């Protein structure tokens, strides 16, 4: 259970404090905070609270959204990512997960160029703060306005374009990449280049009724999660398995009951009864 990490968005109705307390009580090993968790709070205090509860702070979600139609807006995004790096540093999060961004009507090539430029701009800040940046390839159904990076290959290409800095890598989420015929190879390649920074799990429901907020609990969908997870572990990855589930259905449940379901599903998947 120590490799189980939960993203606070998975239990969105809970406060930051509730998430920390309840995840720790449930025996999870780690927590990934979302930035809204820090609203009106001192990141260092939140970080201390999590550590005192025995939780590893796995990452801070999310930076990114670099592309924009105007230079001024792109600069705003860079400034916001710098603030995010500072927050992560104070929080004690070693990693920021990046949803890289896309602009409807702007070519994906141009957006990827702007993402690369944005990363280059904030890289010195990340290095100075000792915070890593994890590019999360998003499913191609989010290529319109969320991410022009839709495969691990594209994320690796951006790492290459930046000159393979140790600070930049990839956050692999099964929801986004399970369909990719290159997946096993890309996981191996990513790890071999010391870029496999994070591993997120959930499931793909049939039918999926909402493009954003209808993700499934592990085991109720079609993603071969255990197979992908084994590919990840076979590279030597020993990091957390992060449960990140956006779901209107589950958010409307009693969140304690929902956390119990997550724990059961995780235990069934990994056989850690």
Residues that bind its own copies (CB under 8 A): 104-105, 107-108, 139-141, 143-145, 150-151, 154, 178-181, 204, 206-209, 211, 221-222, 224
- When the beta carbons of 109 and 257 are compared against its own copies, the nearer one is 109
CB of 40 to its own copies, least distance (A): 29
Q: Pick the closer one to its own copies by CB: 55 or 183.
A: 183
Closer by beta carbon to its own copies, 105 or else 271: 105
> In whole angstroms, how close is the CB of 142 to its own copies at the nearest point?
9
Q: Is the peptide bond before 237 cis (omega within 30 degrees of 0)?
A: no
Least CB distance to its own copies at residue 175 (A): 11
Burial class of residue 188, CB neighbours in 10 A (0-12, 13-18, 19+): middle
Backbone angles phi, psi at 247, to 5 degrees: -160, 110
Helix (H, G, I), strand (E, B) or coil at 5: strand
Q: Return the number of the residue (32 or 151) whose C-beta is nearest its own copies.
A: 151
Whole-number minimum distance, CB 144 to its own copies, in Å?
Answer: 5
d(Cα 103, Cα 111) in Å, to the nearest integer?
A: 7
Closest CB to its own copies among residues 49, 106: 106
Please count the other Cβ atoms lying within 10 Å of the Cβ belonging to residue 42: 11
> Minimal distance in Å, beta carbon 210 to its own copies?
8
Min dist CB 150 to its own copies, Å, is: 6
CA 208 – CA 210 distance, rounded (Å): 6
Residue 106 vs 235, nearer CB to its own copies:
106
CB neighbour list of residue 155: distance below 8 Å, 6 or more residues apart: 135, 136, 137, 149, 170, 190
Instruction: Between 206 and 238, name the residue whose CB sits nearer to its own copies.
Output: 206
Residue 33 CB coordination number (10 Å): 26
* CA proximity to 9, closest of 200, 244, 172, 248: 244
The percent of the chain in helix, strand and coil, each rounded to the nearest 5, is 45, 20, 35
Omega of the bond prior to 207 within 30 degrees of 0, cis?
Answer: yes
* Cβ at position 252, least distance to its own copies in Å: 19
- Rounded CA separation 109/168 (Å): 20
């Amino acid at each position: 259970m120590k490799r189980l990490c939960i993203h606070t968005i998975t239990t969105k109705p809970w406060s930051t404090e509730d998430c920390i307390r309840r995840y720790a009580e449930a025996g999870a090993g780690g927590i990934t905070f979302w930035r809204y968790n820090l609203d009106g709070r001192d990141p260092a205090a939140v970080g201390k609270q999590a550590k005192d509860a025995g939780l590893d702070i796995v990452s801070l979600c999310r930076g990114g959204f670099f592309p924009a139609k105007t230079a001024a807006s792109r600069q705003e995004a860079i400034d916001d990512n710098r603030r995010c790096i500072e927050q992560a540093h104070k929080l004690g999060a070693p990693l920021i997960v990046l949803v890289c961004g896309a602009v409807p009507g702007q070519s994906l090539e141009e957006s990827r160029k702007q993402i690369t430029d944005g990363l280059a701009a904030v890289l010195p800040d990340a290095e100075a703060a000792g915070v890593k940046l994890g590019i999360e390839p998003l499913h191609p159904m989010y290529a319109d306005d969320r991410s022009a990076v839709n495969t691990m290959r594209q994320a690796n290409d951006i790492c290459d374009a930046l000159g393979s800095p140790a600070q930049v890598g990839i956050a692999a989420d099964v929801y986004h990449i399970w369909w990719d015929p290159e997946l096993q190879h890309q996981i191996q390649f990513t790890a071999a280049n010391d870029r496999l920074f994070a591993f997120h799990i959930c499931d793909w429901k049939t039918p999926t009724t909402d493009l954003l907020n209808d993700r499934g609990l592990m085991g109720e969908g079609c993603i071969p999660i255990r197979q992908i997870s084994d590919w990840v572990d076979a590279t030597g990855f020993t990091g957390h398995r992060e449960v990140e589930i956006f779901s209107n259905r589950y958010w409307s449940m009693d969140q304690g009951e929902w956390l119990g379901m997550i724990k059961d599903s995780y235990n069934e998947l990994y056989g850690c009864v």
